[in-house]
Amino acid sequence: MKRILSLALICALLCLTGCSPIENRLDKRLIIQGVGIDKKDGDYNITAMYMDTANPVGEGDVTSELAQGSGKSVLAALTDTVNKTGREPLYGQCGFIVLGGEIARGGIKEALEFFTDYYEFHPNIKVFCSDGSAEKIMKAENMNDRLMGDFSDAETTTGKTIVSSLSEIYADIIGGKSNAVTALVGIEEKNAVLKGAAAFDGDRQKAVLSSDECIAVQLLRGDAENVWDIFPSDDGDGINYFLSDCSSKTDISVDNGLSFHFYVSSRAGAFAVSASSKTESMIASRVKELCERSIQRLLRENHLDVFNLERCLYLYRYEKYRSLEEPKKAIALSDIRIGVDVSLL
């Protein structure tokens, strides 16, 4: 339904441009749905997904095709890609960007700057990273714009990834008070799959967050909406549970050194398990364990503040923040405590 409405809107907009009938025809437009970007030997390589409006498969529905090009810059590569199709590009429908592994590890700022500067690309475009080449993701057997929409929705439905928009990830890179993080995708049996998230030091990927760590980060930041998880119980069976109505509060103390106290609360439900105080306690312990492990590996060991602690310190304890010579190091060494309150439905 969304695709039908989008196509109808595009038709309406094109009719209002005052162009000739030939220029108005959708089969003459290159309606970009997503862009994959790789870099090899100094050249950018683009793999663009676009609506195949020349060959509709049904009323108001279209399939997708791929076009490729290369150049010394993202602009040059995208221009080459478009020119090979012989169509007039339309970028307003672009919903996602996939950054290849070499770009993610070498620096993503230059690649993203084109999209932040070019007015047709919306700042809410979702940004993904690939653990290999973006081209392979774009050519995966299950690849389409709906799949990428499902990947974006996974953040709010399961909590097992973190998806950042173009404006969010660029702001983190430029601002420097929080480490950027966004969804990581890979290939398994020729299909594109989610693989947690990529965390950045500056604009270079430094670590990969597991699905468990993605859950913990969102719970601690107060961004979690719904969480689904499973963990082994004492008798060896798995406890399958979900969290909803999640919230988080962070108290910052500077009286006896720097300390952060997180309070995470949530409603919970468990499948095929009796609703008891024991079950409630087990789920709360599981959530606390996920959060503590994530703090240890990401913040303590890798100095990746994906929890927005420096930002919170800057906003709510500015005098203390200004007095620190190395805020990031001080935060990594700070006293961090986590309290969890879970109420079974």
The pLDDT averaged over each successive group of 10 residues in the chain (345 residues) is 48 47 63 95 95 66 87 96 91 95 96 93 96 96 93 95 96 94 97 97 97 97 94 78 94 94 94 81 94 97 96 95 94 96 91
Task: Give the per-residue pLDDT at 55.
Answer: 66
The whole-angstrom separation of Cα 71 and Cα 47 is: 12
DSSP 296: I
From the CA atom positions of the chain, what is the Rg in Å? 23
Contact at 8 Å (CB) between 77 and 111? no
Task: Give the per-residue pLDDT at 20.
Answer: 43
The whole-angstrom separation of Cα 339 and Cα 277 is: 17
Q: How many helices (H) and strands (E) would you count in the chain?
A: 13, 14
Q: In order of start, what are the domains of the chain with their CATH numbers? A: 1-209 (no CATH), 212-345 (3.30.300.210)
Task: Give the per-residue pLDDT at 59.
Answer: 55
Residues 81-127: tens digit of each pLDDT = 999 998 889 999 999 999 999 999 999 999 999 999 998 999 999 99
Burial category of 274 from C-beta neighbours within 10 Å (exposed 0-12, middle 13-18, buried 19 and up): exposed
The whole-angstrom separation of Cα 207 and Cα 226 is: 24
Kind of pairing, strands 259-271 and 238-253? antiparallel
The Cβ of residue 158 has, within 10 Å, a number of other Cβ atoms equal to 18
**pTM score > 0.85 for this model?**
yes
- In the chain, alpha helices (H): 2-15, 21-24, 74-85, 101-106, 109-117, 134-138, 145-157, 166-175, 211-221, 277-294, 309-316, 318-323, 327-332
